[in-house]
Chain A
Amino acid sequence: MKLKTLLAAGAVAMSSTAAFAGCAIENTVPLKSLSAGFEAWKAVTDAMAECGNFQASLDQEFREKQPEAFAANPALYQIGGVANATMIPLLNAGSIRPLDDLVAKYGQNLTPNQLIKVDGKVMAIAMMVNAQHLMYRSDILADLGIAEPATWDEVLAAAEKIKAAGVVEYPLGGTFKTGWNLGEEFVNMYLGEGGTFIGEGNMPAINNAQGVAALETMKAMTAYMDPEYLVSDSTYVQQQFQQGKIAMANLWASRAAAMDDEAESQVVGKVAMAAAPNGSAAPASSLWWDGFVFAANMSDQEAEAAFQVAMEGIDGEMVSANNDAAVWLLNGYTPGKLAAGAAATAANGASPYPASGPMGIMHTVLGNGLADYLTGAKDAETTLADIEAAYMTAAKEAGLVK
C-alpha cells in the first residue's frame, strides 16, 4: 500500500500547520449554504458555522431546490453542496461561478486532485470521494477457508459456501431498493462489464450482451440475499451487517465506520474492507465525489467571503476531528483501515460515475424498470428494451433526443 503511506506522510506534514482553534477568520458577510444532509456535510458545515454569520441547510430535497435557488438573482444560497451528478443542472444553467481566481488567492491548502475542472476552469472544490466496495466478515471467510473474493464469480462462489455452512442468515447484502439505489447497482455492474450507457446522439446503449451479463449477475446475487431486497437501502444493509445477519456486501465507503461503532455494532473488528469485485472488464463500482460550488449570482465580495468560509470548513482541524466520517480528499486526512476498500477500488481502475444530463434520465428509468426483471415478470432482453423505450420517451420530452 504505497499510496497509503504516501498520504499518511502528507497528512502528518500538514496537520502540524493546522493546529489553531475554531475559525481563523471572522466572517461579516451573511452566508447560506444548501447541501445534502449526511454526516460529512454536517461536520463541514458545523466547522464553517464557527466563522459566524453562516447558516447551513442540510436538506433532503436539495436536489429539487438547488437549480432554482441558484438561478434566482441574487441567489438564495451562496454556497452549494453537490456531487458528480447534481452539479450538472447548475453547470448547464451557468448558475455557478468559475473559481480559478479564488483558488489562487485563498486555496493554498487545496490539492490539485480536489479541483473539479470543466474545460480547464475550476467549477467546484471536491472534499471527499465515495464508492461502493466489498465489505466482508473476515472471521467467517477465514473459518470457511475462503480467500478474499476479487471478482463477482468468486463472490457468488463464496456466498454458496457460506450458505451451505449456514453461519449467517443471508450470505449477501445489497442496496437493491427500487429507485436510485437499484439504478446505482446496475450502473456499477454494467461498468464492471465495460459497458457504456449513452451512444451517439444521446441514444440509449444498454440493450446488449454486457447489459444482460450485468442483469444476470444481479439476479444471481438475489438468490443469496434477504428476499426483501427491493426495499433494502444502505442503512438497512448496514444494520444487517451490524446485527451479524449478512457476511458480504458491496456497500458505500462512507458506511465503513458504522461497522466498528461499539454502540450499535455486534461485529466490531470483524468486517474487512476490500476492493469492489471485478466484473469481466473492470471493478464493478463507480467513483463519486462530493464538494462545494459557489453561486454566480452574488457579489464578488460575497464570493470571497463564501470561499474563505468554505476553506475553513474543510481545514485540517475538521478532518482530524472527523477522520472516519468519510474518505476525505483533504490535507490532514489519515486513511485508516476503513478507507482501504475505497483506495483499492480506485487503484484497480474504477471509473468515475459518468454524470451527464442523459445519464440522469438513464439512472432514473433503470431504477424504476429493473425490479420487473428481478421479480421474474420479464426476461433480461425485454427489461432492457423496455428501459430503453422509457428512456427515449423521457429524453424526447427533455429535448435531448430528436
Chain B
Amino acid sequence: MDKQRRKFLKIAGVTALAGIGAPALVRLSSSNALASEHGAAEEHAAEAVHGAPVEAAPQGVRLGMVIDMRKITAQPELLDKAIAACVDVHNIPQFDNKKSEIKWLWKAPFENVFPGESSYHLAKNVEETDFAVLCNHCDDPPCVRACPTQATFKVKANGIVAMDFHRCIGCRFCMAACPYGARSFNWQDPRPYIKKYNKDFPSRMRGVVEKCNFCGERLALGQEPACVEACKGTGAIVFGDLNDAQSEIRQLLDKEFTIQRNPSLGTKPSVFYIV
C-alpha cells in the first residue's frame, strides 16, 4: 500500500470511528469571530482595552467589569438597552418559555443575585432595582475545571472565560459547576428564534452550552463590549484591565466600595458591583 493511501485510510478510519465527519467540518458562519478568541487576535484584544502592548502588566491582563448600580437605579432603561445590544450582537434566541431560555446578560433582583447577603430590611432603592447578571469570568473558573473537552477555557491573554461551540459535547457539566447560573444550553435549534441575525457572530446549533463572552470578538476589532457601548457616557458599566493600575476600572475600584457575587467560593469573579 502506498503512503498516500495508507494516510487516507488512517484519516478515514479515525473519522468513521468518531462518527463526527460531517457536522464537525461544517462551519456555522463565515465569521472567524470565535476563532479569534483562541489565537493571534488575543494580542489585539488586550491592546484594544489597554492601549499598549500586553507586557506592561506584571500578572498579565485580566479583563473585568464594574457595574454601577447607582447609575442604573437612576436610569433603569440603561440595563434594557445593554441587554438588547447583547442580544442583537450575539444572535441570542428569544424563547417565550422559561424552560428553553438562553441568557447572557439579564436582570434579577438583589436577593437573587446575592443570595448569601442579607436582604432583610434592604434599602428601598436596592430592593426595587433589578441588577445586571452575567458570567463573572472568574479567575479560577469551576466551569473550566469541569469541562471534559476544554470546550470552555480561559483565554490566557486576557482572562476571558470563552467557549468553543464546535467542541462542546453538551454534557452540561459546566452548568452544574457554575455557582452563578451564568450558563445556558440550547435545548433545541435556536436559529428560528433569533429576531435579528448578525452575520458577524456565529449562531449556535442545538445541544451546546453558551454564555457571555465579554464580547471577545468585538475586543478583537478594537470595539468595546456591546453592553458597555450601549451605556456609553453614563459610567453605568466600566470595563477594563483589573491588573493595570492606571486603567479606568482600577481607579474606580480604588475609589468605590464594590461587592462581588459569592466571593467565598474562591472563584475570584471579575465582575464588581457598586450598590
Partners in one complex: no
